């Protein structure tokens, strides 16, 4: 493993995937680890490994300066896709935290996207919950025959399951009820 190979690996990775700074760093460190497992001489040369870890820092800095690596743009792109697919704010925050994006960056990008999409009149979380319910065929998005089947207790249980599915997806109880258009209260 050489400095040039590491730089090329970073370039190849960024050409293929949208990445956060943390993701690129982990990928390059895995390259070094994999090489140390395959090559005994490389594993014994801790000085070279340390130099390559310093190269990782310089590569990341260079790509950030060039605009190839931008956590804010990465977060905005991911948020747009996840919101369109009906992902809750909590789930988005979890996924981007796992990718190594700072909480402040995620919060700013979420706020920007939600205000751009919904303006002052709408609720982006409610819209995402409705999208999720439609995709999973929950509540009023269920086929008409399924909605009409059963007595009052069965319908109540079905509504409770739908709200539970939305809760597992990261939506609050109130948002889930509003998304499903449910007026009944399940707190017994």
Q: Six-digit token pair at 62?
A: 């260079």
Over the stretch 127-178, which tens digit does the pLDDT of each residue have? 889 999 999 988 888 876 565 666 788 888 888 999 999 999 999 999 899 8
Distance CA 106, CA 103 (A): 5
List, for residues 54-76, the tens digit of each pLDDT value.
Answer: 999 999 999 999 988 999 999 99
89-135: pLDDT as tens digits: 999 999 999 999 999 999 999 988 888 776 654 588 888 899 999 99
- Angstrom distance (rounded) from CA 130 to CA 124: 10
Would you state the pLDDT for residue 10? 92
**Is the pTM higher than 0.85?**
no
Separation CA 153–CA 165 (nearest Å): 18
């Amino acid at each position: 493993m050489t400095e040039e190979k590491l730089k090329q690996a970073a370039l190849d990775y960024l050409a293929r995937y949208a990445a956060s700074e943390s993701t690129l760093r982990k990928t390059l460190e895995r390259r070094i680890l994999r090489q140390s497992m395959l090559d005994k001489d490389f594993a014994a040369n801790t000085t070279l490994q340390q130099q390559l870890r310093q190269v990782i820092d310089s590569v990341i800095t260079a790509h950030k300066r060039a605009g190839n690596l931008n956590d804010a743009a990465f977060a905005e792109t991911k948020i747009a896709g996840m919101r369109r697919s009906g992902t809750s704010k909590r789930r988005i925050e979890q996924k981007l935290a796992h990718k190594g994006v700072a909480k402040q960056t995620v919060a700013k990008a979420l706020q920007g996207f939600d205000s751009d999409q919904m303006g002052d009149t709408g609720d982006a979380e409610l819209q995402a919950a409705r999208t999720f319910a439609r995709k999973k065929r929950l509540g009023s998005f269920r086929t008409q025959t399924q909605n009409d089947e059963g007595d009052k207790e069965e319908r109540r249980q079905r509504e409770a399951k739908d709200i539970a599915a939305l809760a597992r997806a990261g939506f609050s109880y109130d948002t889930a009820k509003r998304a499903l258009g449910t007026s009944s209260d399940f707190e017994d």
